[in-house]
Amino acid sequence: MTSPPPPIFDRRLTRLRLARAATQGAEDFLLVHAIEEFSARLATIKREFCAILDAGTPSPRLAARLFELLHPPLFVRMAPLPEGAGGFSLMRLVGDEENLPLRPERFDLAVSALSLQNLNDLPGALVQLRRVLKPDGLFLGCLLGGQSLYELRTALAVAESEICGGISPRVAPFADVRDMGGLMQRAGFALPVADSEPVTVRYADMFGLMKDLRAMGAANALVARLRQPSPKGLFMRAAKVYADRFADPDGRVRATFEMIFLSGWAPHESQQKPLAPGSAKMRLADALTNKPVPGS
């Protein structure tokens, strides 16, 4: 029996960072963007969602918006931390997306925004999210993708290589949008879709970005993170590299967040199916040469 791979993220530390950010006033402009995107996508789906799950979204803001838009009889929010009553009626519990304490086929809509990128077992979490959906239930997800914070990663790597002669794990690995459709399919979702959107934010300097990351609860929570103080001058050198390489003409620096949006359906017999191999009634060569279809 093979042992599970070692964890990438310290999940306990992630929750502690989220708790600290919440008490100090969390920065949630990325979540606001995800909420608007979810709302727009749901507006195009003409169906009623009677049982909704919010799995792991760091803030209750997404749940509040969907409750306002959809008015479901049942709304369950599984939060990473204990929360107050909020001001709208829903069932709250504290849990982990890697171990959903929910019975199968309970919900017809499940959502998760900006939490999946911090999981040690993303494929397993997607399988569990699919299992809690009723047949023909919908999942909408959003997570940060592989191009996120490439400016910060570059600046830190250059500075640490110069000062320390090597680099340490400082920025979390992110999923690649090209892989996410395949992961959704492997998890059992029908009609999976994964698309990405870059969001560019500008700051006076690198330290403004790092302040926002702490306010999101997104500071380094890697198991392999450096456990000793950083060398003197490292971050000043990184800020200089950042400004030299990624500043606009007005001197402000850019930070890129790649937001990957996922959608998929729990399988149901009513859904469209791909044609079986060999079932086409026209050869591709004939279509390209505009030849008439026999019998037409």
Residue 49 has pLDDT above 90, yes or no: yes
160-198: b or e for each residue (b if 16 or more CB lie within 10 Å)? Answer: beeeeeeebebbbebbebeebbebbeebbbbebebebee
Q: Are 134 and 106 in contact (CB under 8 A)?
A: yes
CA 204/CA 254 separation, integer angstroms: 9
Sign of CA dihedral 173, 176, 181, 183: negative
- Residues 181-226 have pLDDT tens digits of 999 999 999 999 999 999 999 999 999 999 999 999 887 777 777 7
DSSP strand pairing (91-94 vs 107-113): unpaired
Residue 8 has pLDDT above 90, yes or no: no
Q: What is the model's pLDDT at position 148?
A: 94
The overall average pLDDT reported for the chain is 87
Instruction: Give the residue from 38, 56, 134 showing the smallest Cα distance to 94.
Output: 56
Q: Which two tokens stand for residue 199?
A: 């969001």
Residue 11 has pLDDT above 90, yes or no: no
Residue 241 has pLDDT above 80, yes or no: yes
Return the amino acid letter for 128.
Q
Residue 157 has pLDDT above 90, yes or no: yes
Entry pTM: 0.85
Average pLDDT over residues 245-272: 94
Average pLDDT over residues 136-160: 95
HEC letters along the chain: CCCCCCCCECHHHHHHHHHHHHHHCCCCHHHHHHHHHHHHHHHCCCCCCCEEEEECCCCCHHHHHHHHHHCCCEEEEEECCCCCCCCCCCEEEECECCECCCCCCCEEEEEEECCHHHCCCHHHHHHHHHHCEEEEEEEEEEEEECCCCHHHHHHHHHHHHHHHCCCCCCCCCCECHHHHHHHHHHCCCEEEEEEEEEEEEEECCHHHHHHHHHHCCCCCCECCCCCCCCCCCHHHHHHHHHHHHHECCCCCEEEEEEEEEEEEECCCCCCCCCCCCCCCCCCHHHHHCCCCCCCC
- For the domain made up of 11-272, the CATH class stated in words is alpha beta
Residue 2 has pLDDT above 90, yes or no: no
Q: What is the model's pLDDT at position 33?
A: 96
Q: What is the model's pLDDT at position 17?
A: 85
Per-residue pLDDT band for 73 (boundaries 50, 70, 90) equals very high
Residue that wins the pLDDT comparison between 280 and 271: 271
- Residues 74-93 have pLDDT tens digits of 999 998 888 876 656 678 88
Per-residue pLDDT band for 20 (boundaries 50, 70, 90) equals confident
Instruction: Give the residue from 67, 30, 35 showing the smallest Cα distance to 49.
Output: 67
Q: What percent of the chain has pLDDT over 70?
A: 88
Residue 70 has pLDDT above 60, yes or no: yes
Phi, psi of 239 (to 5 degrees): -65, -35
Number of C-beta neighbours around residue 155 at 10 A = 25
Identify the weakest region by mean pLDDT among 41-55, 56-70, 97-111, 225-239. Answer: 225-239
CA 254/CA 15 separation, integer angstroms: 28
Instruction: Give the residue from 229, 225, 241, 231 showing the smallest Cα distance to 159.
Output: 241
Per-residue pLDDT band for 252 (boundaries 50, 70, 90) equals very high
Q: What is the model's pLDDT at position 15?
A: 87
CA 22/CA 17 separation, integer angstroms: 9
Q: What is the model's pLDDT at position 185?
A: 94
Average pLDDT over residues 8-22: 85
